[in-house]
Amino acid sequence: FMVDKGNHRHFMEKEIHEQPEVISHTLAHYLDFGAGVSKPLDLPFDFAKLDRLSISACGTAYLSGVIGKYWFERLARLPVDIDIASEFRYREMPIVKNSAAFFVSQSGETADTLASLRYCRKAGVPIGAVVNVRESTIARESDVILPTLAGPEIGVASTKAFTCQLSVLASLAVRAGVARGTISPEREKVLVRELSEAPRYANQVLKLDQQIEKLARELSSYKHVLYLGRDTNYPLAMEGALKLKEISYIHAEGYAAGELKHGPIALIDENMPVIVIAPHDRIFEKTVSNMQEVAARGGKVILITDKKGAEQASLQTMETIVLPDMPEIITPIVYALPIQMLAYYTAVFMGTDVDQPRNLAKSVTVE
């Protein structure tokens, strides 16, 4: 069937704006908002008996898996291996007894992800597929399909599929925590309610479009951009950099903020803006000190934070994008939006083919 752009200039813009709705659909598939519980799943393994979970994927799907690792480990005390599928398939990883493997893929057809799945299949590991296309090869070859309900994604740069992958992984981490006894029924209720609020916050963030568009105009005159974040904002920093380079062709790197002094600090000058993703969380102060290191060297900071963070950062920034204060568990989902919007508007100013960037394919079905 045909999908059209509606009132939007590009599919990517349309898909960014669909996020409140598709995140909500996806969460509702896994969580019972009314009862405040995660829904039971028919899994080929028992979360309670797992010693290790392995996640493999490529591109943006891989970065959702990195965020998933933080959630599974923190909420369910379940150790997670996260791999880029093209590495996983050849690195001859020993298979841990009592393990399961998840493969994350929008298309369900990525060659390296499929090869990694087959490696695990051969080793007898139970397999879950977090996929957007249910009729795909990866879905077909898995033991359980854990669908993202993003609807068809046309823009080559993944947006809504990413936030739906995060929605699935967060819900599964809650489910795993309940099964493993690390999340009490009271805590489950709170987490389910917090997750249910993600679409509402995502909607509010979409309204920052004018500020982000203005910032993008400025950003489009630079040749290099550095993204920094800690904890789940670190993979988000990598996703921000990936989005920007994919569609605007501006060189960008995402780094763990704590690694700044181990390399990228040598690059800091007024010609490389540093985008810091830092909601006010348990390690906010650490990120603030990284920003001060940048500012002290003449670097320009673009801070993406919340109200509390903006009040406490006390720092001269090139721009501060202020999101509402929100529960920690949903920050990766909601903060993905300003990052996507910034890449999108920058690419529009650069005049690139936003939906079909040069040299890239929506689905990489060859090695």
- Asked if 19 touches ligand G6P (CB under 6 A), the answer is no
For the CA atoms of 254, 260, 265, 270, the dihedral, rounded to the nearest 10 degrees, stands at: 50
Residue 78: both structure tokens together: 């379940």
Nearer to ligand G6P by Cβ, of 242 and 268: the residue is 242
User: At which residue do the structure tokens 């695990």 appear?
Assistant: 120
**Of 55, 58, 212, 275, which one interacts with ligand G6P (CB under 6 A)?**
58
User: Dihedrals φ, ψ of 249, to 5°?
Assistant: 65, 15
Residue 92 has what DSSP assignment?
-
With beta carbons less than 8 A apart as the criterion, state whether 348 and 216 touch.
Answer: yes
**Of 19, 38, 110, 167, which one interacts with ligand G6P (CB under 6 A)?**
110
Which one of the listed residues 5, 189, 308, 362 is annotated catalytic? Answer: 362
How near is the Cβ of 61 to ligand G6P at its closest, in Å? 4
Residue 362 annotated among the catalytic residues of the structure: yes
**One-letter amino acid of 140:** R
With beta carbons less than 8 A apart as the criterion, state whether 236 and 343 touch.
Answer: no
- Asked if 86 touches ligand G6P (CB under 6 A), the answer is no
- Asked if 297 touches ligand G6P (CB under 6 A), the answer is no
**Of 106, 137, 171, 248, which one interacts with ligand G6P (CB under 6 A)?**
106
How near is the Cβ of 157 to ligand G6P at its closest, in Å? 6
Nearer to ligand G6P by Cβ, of 15 and 281: the residue is 15
The interface mask with ligand G6P, positions 112-131, x = CB under 6 A, is: -x------------------
**Of 105, 142, 232, 346, which one interacts with ligand G6P (CB under 6 A)?**
105
- Asked if 60 touches ligand G6P (CB under 6 A), the answer is yes
Nearer to ligand G6P by Cβ, of 129 and 176: the residue is 129
**One-letter amino acid of 68:** G
User: Distance between CA atoms of 165 and 149, rounded to whole angstroms?
Assistant: 9
Neighbours of 266 (CB within 10 A): 10
The interface mask with ligand G6P, positions 232-271, x = CB under 6 A, is: ----------------------------------------
Query: HSE of 134 in the Cβ direction (CA atoms, 13 Å)?
Result: 8
Helix orientation angle between 185-196 and 160-179, rounded to the nearest 10 degrees: 170
How near is the Cβ of 132 to ligand G6P at its closest, in Å? 7
Residue 167: both structure tokens together: 């929605």
With beta carbons less than 8 A apart as the criterion, state whether 319 and 334 touch.
Answer: no
- Asked if 278 touches ligand G6P (CB under 6 A), the answer is no
**Of 140, 263, 360, 365, which one interacts with ligand G6P (CB under 6 A)?**
360
- Asked if 163 touches ligand G6P (CB under 6 A), the answer is no
Stretch that binds ligand G6P, among 32-40, 46-54, 155-163, 185-193 (CB under 6 A): 155-163
Q: In sequence order, which ranges of the chain are alpha helices (DSSP H)?
A: 11-17, 19-30, 59-76, 85-88, 111-122, 137-140, 160-179, 185-196, 198-206, 209-219, 233-248, 284-296, 307-313, 331-350
**Of 38, 107, 137, 340, which one interacts with ligand G6P (CB under 6 A)?**
107
Contact residues for ligand G6P, defined by CB under 6 A: 58-61, 105-107, 110, 113, 156-158, 360, 362-364
Catalytic residues: 362
